[in-house]
Structure 1
């Protein structure tokens, strides 16, 4: 369990605005072009553009932080730390759905 970390607004902003494709690429997850967006190959209902995703099957949507919380079962604190460190290969996280 992670401890409380008092993030600054800038740290949260930077984490939230991380390109989702960069995260997936670093973790070896495939994505495919879908018009002006990208589609996650492991879950074709999930499309993303930049740092924003939308899951057409569930209606879930949000930023890169929400993406890690939703699909990789991360807590907010852990997701912000992971995104701000930018060393996705050095951090273990697995797909939850």
Structure 2
């Protein structure tokens, strides 16, 4: 059952939220440029998911990356081409 409006935090603000985070669901609207909107639609179609689920997954990946980098870990991609593995570090600058 969806949360009632009084139980939902509004995150439609330009500045980041300040203070303690809550465990309440959040409602927001997002304006996307053409590139990100196209990428979102392609992911939704290929994975057969809703926009809400796509955003949830994106946030989970972002949180994972932030947490790992905060621990001093690095993110890498292992490419396999012609039976040979090549490890490439992926650099993120998310401030």
Under a length normalisation based on structure 1, what TM-score does the superposition of the two structures give? 0.28
Higher-Rg structure is: 2
Asked which structure has the greater RCO (Cα within 8 Å, sep 6+), the reply is 1
